Amino acid sequence: MNWQEYQDAVGELYIQMNEFGIVKKNITIPDKVTGQPRQVDVWWELNLGGHIFKILIDAKKRKDKIDVKDIEEIIMLAESVNADKAIIVTNSEWTEPAERKAIHTGLDLRMFTIDEATDLIVEDKWLMCQVCMEDCVVLDNDGFLPIGGIINWWLGGTCGTCKSVYVNCQGCGGKAIINNEATWICNCSLEWSVFENQIFVESTDEEVEKDSRDIPYKDENQLEIEFPEI
Ligand SMILES: [Zn+2]
Ligand SMILES: [Zn+2]
C-alpha cells in the first residue's frame, strides 16, 4: 500500500467512524493536570446507550514497525486528555514488546492495520456492555466451525471491565452473554463457552444439526440481550 492509498483508506475509515460517532480532527483538549492545550489529531466520540466513550485515534504511516516508544507516547497523550480508549491504525506492523505494552496498559489501547480497522470499526461491532453498563464491548473476535459441510461463522467480544463475553452466532443469528461459569447452547445446537478469555464453540449433537432451526435455545440462566439495529 503506497502513501496515497493509505491516506485514502484512512480518510474512508474516518467517514465510516463518523457514521455512528462523531469524528473531530485537529482539536486541542486541555491537559487534565496542567490545563495546557494538547494537540489531538483525531478524536472519536461514540454515544452508546447514553454513555459517551472518548477515543483517541492515531494513524501512523511508517516504514519501521511501531515500537514501545510509540505506544508510550500514545498512552501518555490519551491519559492526559482523559480518553477512554486509544486506537493506533497503521500501514506497518508492530514489535512484540509494543504489543505487550499495549495489552498491559490500564487504558484500552488497540493496534490495527488499516484493513483490520475498516473491518472492525463498524456500528454493529461496538456495544455498550449490558452487564456492567460501564464499558464498550468491541466484537473483535471471530472464527468459524465447519459442521456437515456448512461453515458456521461467529463473532465475539469481551468487556474489558467486567469480562463478560458476547457471542453472536451467524448461523442462527443467536446472541448471548456468557462468562467463565455460564455456557450457552445456540439455535444450531452449538455450545459456547469461555476459558481463560478464549471463546470455545463446539457442536453438541450431530443428529439435530440438520433441523437446527427448530431447536429452542432458551436457557434460563442466560441473559438475553438486544444488539443495536444495524
Ligand atoms: Zn461489562
Ligand atoms: Zn447458532
Kindly give the distance from the C-alpha atom of residue 23 to the centroid of ligand 2, in angstroms, as a whole number.
Answer: 35
Kindly give the distance from the C-alpha atom of residue 188 to the centroid of ligand 2, in angstroms, as a whole number.
Answer: 4
Mean pLDDT, the chain, integer = 87
> Which pLDDT score, from 0 to 100, does residue 226 have?
60
> Which pLDDT score, from 0 to 100, does residue 206 have?
60
Which cell numbers hold the place of 189? 445446537
Which of 40, 43, 88 minimizes the C-alpha distance to 67? 88
pTM of the model: 0.81
Share of the chain above pLDDT 70, in %: 89
> Which pLDDT score, from 0 to 100, does residue 150 have?
76
Ligand that lies nearest to the alpha carbon of residue 48, given by its number in the listed order? 1
Residue 199, phi then psi, degrees to nearest 5:
-90, 130
Segments in the chain below pLDDT 50: 208-221, 230
Q: Where in the chain is the domain with CATH 3.40.1350.10?
A: 3-121
Kindly give the distance from the C-alpha atom of residue 1 to the centroid of ligand 1, in angstroms, as a whole number.
Answer: 37
Taking a 5 Å cut-off on Cβ, the residues next to ion ligand 2 are: 169, 171-172, 174, 186-188
Residue 182, phi then psi, degrees to nearest 5:
-100, 120
- Residue pair 175/168 in contact (Cβ under 8 Å)? The answer is yes
Q: State which CATH number among 3.30.70.790, 1.10.1740.10, 3.40.50.11720, 3.40.1350.10 fits the domain covering 3-121.
A: 3.40.1350.10
> Which pLDDT score, from 0 to 100, does residue 198 have?
85
Q: Give the three-class secondary structure for 22.
A: strand
Neighbours of 143 (CB within 10 A): 12
